[in-house]
Amino acid sequence: MRSNDLINLLNSGSNGELPCPLCSNKMKELHLTYKKSRMMSRHEEMAKDPKKMAEEGALVHAPVIGGIFFFGRMIYDVKEDRAKGKLKKTVTIDGCASCSSLWFDRGEIFQITGNDVTLEYKGETVELAGANAEPSPNVITTHVNEETNN
């Protein structure tokens, strides 16, 4: 993506409330779409909801029945993905038009990792990152750890 396109892309987002961690200006919110398999979506939902995790874990204690159930559901999920396509998901990331940075919260980066991510921009679909995409040579990545040691 050209530099001017990136600036236009960042300006096209809706106004957000968060200050940019690099320059302190208000960031824009960009709404991205990606596709995820049904099986991976199910795992993502279980990770977010302890009750679902406990229900799924109960099947593990019945090895034969649980194994048959999981295998059957996996076959069904793959069949549905092939017939209907993967599930369309959305994620909102923050971008700063002032310093051209993008900010991914902890959960956002995990949501899009390994998925084809696109953005509707000026009536066209712009691919931002394909599966297994590598950063461009001139890109600087920064990690901020929000955890504090007590």
Residue of 31, 8, 23 whose CA lies nearest to 93: 31
Q: Is the pTM of this model over 0.85?
A: no
98 Cβ neighbours under 8 A, 6+ residues apart: 20, 23, 25
Q: Where are the domains of the chain?
A: 3-36+88-129, 38-84
The pLDDT tens digits along the chain (150 residues) read: 445 666 677 777 788 888 988 888 998 888 877 777 877 777 777 777 778 777 777 766 777 777 787 788 888 888 888 888 787 777 788 888 888 888 877 677 767 666 666 666 555 555 655 556 666 666 555 555 555 454
